[in-house]
Amino acid sequence: MVQCPKCQRELTLSGEADCEGRTLAVYQCDECTTPWEFDGQTFSTALTFAVDQDGRLVDPESLDPLDFGADPSAN
């Protein structure tokens, strides 16, 4: 089972993302939020992340590595 990187809650698979020929497991924690900017406004959205083949947390859209250790807030 995968745990939320912020609150350590156990998560179930939310879906899969096909990125650059790779299939990534996608998880979402509805307890933790992250800011998302759209059309000049910032909204709180459920924390969503993917896990690559090496077990690293990545942004499912950009494939950039994610590091939640720098963010002390859990919610």
Residue 42 has pLDDT above 90, yes or no: yes
**Residue 64 clears pLDDT 50, i.e. is over it:** yes
Work out the pLDDT band at 34, boundaries 50, 70, 90: confident
The token duo for 48 is 């969503």
pLDDT given for residue 61 in this prediction: 76
* Structure token digits, residue 32: 């933790």
What's residue 12's pLDDT?
94
Confidence class for position 69, pLDDT limits 50, 70, 90: low
Fill in the amino acid letter for 9.
R
- Report the distance separating Cα 19 and Cα 66, nearest Å: 16
pTM of the model: 0.74
Region 27-52: mean pLDDT is 91
